[in-house]
Amino acid sequence: MRLRTLMVTAAVTLLGGVTAVVVASPAMAAGPTATFVKTSDWGSGWEGKYTITNGGTTTMNGWAVAFDLPSGSSVGSFWDADMTRSGQRFTFTNKSWNGTLAPGGTASFGLIGAGAGSPANCTLNGASCGGTTDPGTQVPGTPGAPSVTGVTQTSISLAWGASSGTVTGYRVYEGTTVRATVTGTSATIGGLGANTTHTYTVAAYNSAGESARSATVTGTTSGGTGPTVPGVPGNFRVTGTTGSAISLAWNASSGTVTGYRVYEGSTVRATVTGTTATISGLPACASRTYTVAAYNTVGESARSAAVSGTTTGCSTGPLPAHFLTGYWHNFVNPAVELRLRDTPAAYDLIAVAFAEATTIPGAVTFAVDPGLSSALGGYSDADFRSDIATMHSRGKKVILSVGGEAGRVAVNDATSATNFSNSMFNLIQSYGFDGVDIDLENGLNPTFMGQALRNLRSRVGANLIITMAPQTIDMQNATVSYFKLALDIRDILTVVHTQFYNSGSMLGCDQSFAYSQGTVNFMTALACIQLEAGLRPDQVALGLPAGPGAAGGGVVAPSLVNQALDCLARGTNCGSFRPPRTYPGIRGAMTWSINWDVSNGNQFANTVDPHLATLP
């Protein structure tokens, strides 16, 4: 946090260096081109860059780069362009300031890919990304007008005229959604409801890109007299929880319904004839995720959207149900210097930044920074220990943060895990810290860091506070190391306060849009990822900068933090993104930092802390 980078690039490349991989295009005559470079690849994802070059003789007024990604791959975030998506085809268009390219001019945009795939079938303004003079790599011609060749109660069959040129296959679109991909000139779209009308277009594609869409064709499924598979149940939701049960409800499905099956994964947990169910026999403070499907004699509907619920009985530990966290600087920078005891009363949890690595693998150490001591007129370790005791007397908790942007603590094997646990335990005993914050921005090993934290808790006890401060990119996917650590230790984890800043645009849990940092949508849509992936609401908090100077991007008015908390806790004050459910237990907020907040007149604490007391 001390020296944040503005671009996602730096955060990702630290996960594993690779040699830059360039996806080469065929040799082309001069003309506009778009060249892709994969600058980093860490197995489960990658970072890439497209460079658009105007090799022609006239000015380009706008550009659009489109490509396909294989199934299982997606775009996690991007910058310097706007993105739309149709199935596995992604289209990036220029921003207002980088769309005009004089002859010889260039523009570029970057992106983070999830999955092992690479872009394919690239087009620039509808032509091959490498140019258009080689007939063998031209985009195919537009398919002939499609026609409906048959219908049933659940399907519509189509046929169309073949495209000119080299054709790899055809995509059938319903609006912007790809409904079928085939190699021939016919397709059947199944899974439709009876007596429903659908409109389609067809496009051909090859390695150079995709053709223009065909004319539209409209078809209507037959009605029939017998039953069909029921429709998908709607508005699936959690209606209540106890210490051993989660109650669910949903809207009735269309069509003939015999009953409903409630699934946990692939296991049926309840079969009912109505639109409610209660799953009982659960342990206290247990999170579960369910779907529901309707069935009749014909078959079973598609599953509903998933919902998650948590039984009651979760211990909030030694902290309030909703609380404010702030980081305290053990160093000197342009923010005001503070003695720990001068931390404003609004802060419930103070994270001391930072513990430092030693020459012993995994081990950490701490002492008052000499520069800070001098700036405060002589602030000693003894003074600091006394201040921790003072904060305890005020009902506050003080933890030691490990890492930061410049931190190089590495816990990558059993020995370093033991060294970490031993050294942290000694610092807790020596200074009186209440716990540890994991802020390792240069990557971590979830297996051995989890081992270290469990060992530490076994020695300190159940009141050990364990927090995490991942960067936004670290909490996009539950398989990424930071997110995996949080899920692996959720039985002992206090809270994750993700840094919702210095990140650029990111996809939210709806996977529909890349939301811009510094907005209510960004905070709620990204917090939703964690809440829907298995963390309890009381383990999720919103991390934001305290104001100007605290971060390179994502600075928000504190009132927007309150709006985001309201949206998550109550479903009110949301932006255009609305979470699939409310999370009344959302834990609170964190800010980088206390020192920056004091420098900016305590606006963050004075605005957010009183609002936390109003949450459910």
Q: Which residues belong to the active site?
A: 441
CB 511 within 8 Å of CB 557: no
Count other C-beta atoms under 10 Å from residue 467's C-beta: 24
Residue 380 CA to residue 316 CA, distance in Å, equals 33
Count other C-beta atoms under 10 Å from residue 548's C-beta: 10
Q: What are phi and psi of 125, to 5 degrees?
A: 55, 40
**Cα separations (Å) of 43 from 15, 73, 137, 421?**
10, 12, 30, 30
The β-bridge partners of 67 are 90
For 150, the enclosing helix (H) or strand (E) is strand 147-151
Residue 126 CA to residue 209 CA, distance in Å, equals 7
Nearest by Cα to 402 from 442, 430, 436: 436
Could you give the 3-state DSSP secondary structure of residue 484? helix
Q: Output b/e per residue, 116-148; b: 16+ Cβ within 10 A.
A: ebbbebbbbbebbbbbbeeeebbbbebbbebee
CB 279 within 8 Å of CB 287: no
Cβ contacts of residue 10 below 8 Å, gap of 6+?
none
